[in-house]
Amino acid sequence: MTAPHIVDPARVLGNLLSDASPDMMRSLLQTMINALLSADADAVCGAEWGQPSADRVAQRNGYRHRPLDTRAGTIDVAVPKLRSGTYFPEWLLERRKRAESALITVIADCYLAGVSTRRMDKLVKTLGIDGLSKSQVSRMAADLDEAVAAFRHRPLDEAGPFTFVAADALTMKVREGGRVINAVCLVATGVNGDGHREVLGLQVATSETGAAWNTFFADLVARGLAGVRLVTSDAHAGLVEAIAANLPGAVWQRCRTHYAANLMAVTPKHAWPAVKSMLHSVYDQPDAASVHA
């Protein structure tokens, strides 16, 4: 069962990528920030780097590197230097939290729906950066698109084997052919033997069907997903069948959160506190014998 459409998929995926794939998020943040800094410095100079122009008012003169702490980790920021005058990226260094939040949201959007010049242009305006040309925005979009595509299609056997896998779906609204429709985002996260957790894959489908889940897991296996011993998810029949078909050696377990939500849906509201208390007491038991005692 997919999550309600009121959930913001970009925010949820941004959190997943930050928490479960910090290396990827850190790399994309560094790529985007340094590209924005370079483009912003070109705007201050009046011309792009290496391009002769009568409008140029300053020359670039290398970079000064400084660490920048983010929720995805510390990144290396290359701040452009000028031969005359100074360049200070106030939009990043003075309003760090706002800039970081906007950047992570855009990265999640790009991961979900692909990179577009329009999406990058909106980010630039959100950060308060003025004077960037369309060609600069297009190049930044192309650089990010390449980085996102590399992550989405990366081999999984290098970081694996992933012993535990969790699968879920989010419903989001997308614009298609001039109208707004519901689409489903299929997401899987994995934990390897070293305890490292990361997002394994994400695909957008028209609806949550067995065929969609089967295609999703077949792609993960083709990219090297192996060694899976336990998969947790909700009880969607097509999802459970896709897990059995593509990961025959794995055991399936129903997600506790989804089970609790399903249970509350058929429980009178006045009985919720008592039912939740009983359910939690079962989960708190140390072993199966204690549950049945």
Check pLDDT > 60 for residue 119.
Answer: yes
Q: Which of the given ranges, 88-102, 237-251, 278-292, has the highest pLDDT on average?
A: 237-251
- Model pLDDT, residue 5: 36
Task: Tell me the C-alpha to C-alpha distance, in Å, between residue 83 and each of 61, 77, 131, 142, 273.
Answer: 5, 19, 20, 29, 68
- Model pLDDT, residue 210: 93
Check pLDDT > 90 for residue 217.
Answer: yes
Reported confidence tier of residue 248, pLDDT bands at 50, 70, 90: very high
Check pLDDT > 90 for residue 166.
Answer: yes
Check pLDDT > 80 for residue 263.
Answer: yes
Domains observed in the chain: 9-152 (no CATH), 162-254 (3.30.420.10), 261-293 (no CATH)
Name the average pLDDT for the chain: 79
- Model pLDDT, residue 7: 38
Check pLDDT > 50 for residue 4.
Answer: no
Of residues 163 and 178, the one with the higher pLDDT is 163
Global model pTM greater than 0.75: no
Q: What is the average pLDDT across 24-34?
A: 77
- Model pLDDT, residue 107: 62
Of residues 24 and 166, the one with the higher pLDDT is 166
- Model pLDDT, residue 95: 59
pLDDT tens profile 91-104? 776 655 556 666 66
- Model pLDDT, residue 291: 78
